[in-house]
């Protein structure tokens, strides 16, 4: 079975995370000299409040390699492959951290990193589009099937990937 992992910039609701069994690795938010894990130690409201009070934009740093290795290792130990979504590589080194973790775990064949080419909710939009593919993953296809579908992300492409499974009688929920 394939496990979907995203960095915290996906801005997914808890309901959607639970429904689609997505794990989230937090980016780090730097507010002055204080560092927080996005979505764990600090909320968006607190970030906006700080930005308003300080008349500046908070800084961020990529996910930690240690947090990433720990999460990936736990998933791999459950005999699940991983498709990991990251914020745009033009804006963050998160995708590279995901690749380095895969290399460290000697699991590059089982961990497929997707550069979302998006910021913030753009990743969440992509993940919503592949809700059916995530459901498909529960039927244990090769991880490349899920990875290829994600790389083609568009509503038409998603339908083209899912349709053969529907034709085969596998129920897919989107």
pLDDT digits (tens, 9 = 90+) for 92-142: 899 999 999 999 999 998 998 887 776 654 455 555 555 555 555 556 556
**Using an 8 Å Cβ cutoff, are 157 and 148 in contact?**
no
Q: Residue 156: what pLDDT?
A: 41
pLDDT digits (tens, 9 = 90+) for 145-164: 656 655 555 444 344 334 44
Describe the strand order of the beta sheet including 22-25 as a list of residue ranges.
Answer: 22-25, 2-7, 81-86, 111-115
Q: Are the C-beta atoms of residues 123 and 85 closer than 8 Å to each other?
A: yes
Model pTM above 0.95: no
Confidence (pLDDT) at 44: 82
Over residues 85-91, the mean pLDDT reads: 84
Token pair belonging to 45: 């409201």
Estimate the crossing angle of helix 94-104 against helix 65-77, to 10 degrees: 50
pLDDT at site 173: 41
């Amino acid at each position: 079975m394939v496990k979907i992992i995203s960095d915290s910039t996906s801005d997914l609701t808890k309901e959607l995370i639970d429904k689609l069994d997505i794990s989230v690795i937090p980016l780090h938010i730097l507010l002055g000299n204080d560092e927080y894990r996005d979505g764990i130690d600090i909320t968006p409201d607190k970030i906006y409040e700080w930005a308003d009070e300080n008349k500046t934009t908070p800084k961020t740093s990529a996910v930690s390699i240690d947090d990433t290795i720990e999460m990936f290792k736990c998933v791999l130990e459950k005999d699940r492959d991983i498709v990991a979504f990251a914020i745009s590589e033009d804006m963050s080194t998160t995708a590279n951290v995901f690749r380095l973790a895969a290399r460290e775990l000697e699991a590059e064949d089982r961990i497929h990193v997707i550069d979302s080419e998006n910021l913030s909710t753009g990743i969440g939009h992509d993940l919503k589009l592949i809700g059916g593919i995530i459901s498909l993953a529960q039927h244990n296809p090769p991880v490349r099937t899920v990875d290829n579908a994600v790389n083609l992300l568009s509503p038409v492409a998603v339908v083209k990937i899912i349709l053969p499974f529907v034709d085969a009688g596998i129920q897919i929920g989107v």
